[in-house]
Amino acid sequence: MILDTGEFLRRNDGETWIQIGESAVRSNDFAVLWDTTRLKDGKYQMLGLMHVFVKKGVQKFTVARQNIFDVTIEN
């Protein structure tokens, strides 16, 4: 089984997601550090993605989940 995660960000009024991090480090619970120092203060949306790739015999399966949530950045 292989698992990875990715984090994406956009301003609340934005249309384009920007990837801000990813992780495949299981020992750290797939944590993704966010560096917001270059961002303007304001309201943003975060998109978290998780993919699990499982192989059973010769069959391969992918399970994917996503979650979108609001954050406020104040540097």
Calculate mean pLDDT across residues 34-62: 87
CA distance 14 to 62: 29
Res 6: pLDDT:
75
Res 75: pLDDT:
87
Res 20: pLDDT:
80
Domain ranges of the chain: 2-73
Residue 1 has pLDDT above 60, yes or no: no
Helix-strand-coil percent breakdown of the chain, rounded to 5?
A: 5, 60, 35
The per-residue pLDDT for range 13-43, each reduced to its tens digit, is: 889 998 887 776 666 666 677 778 888 999 9
pTM: 0.68
Tokens representing 8? 């994406």
Rounded to 5 degrees, what are φ and ψ at 37? -60, -25
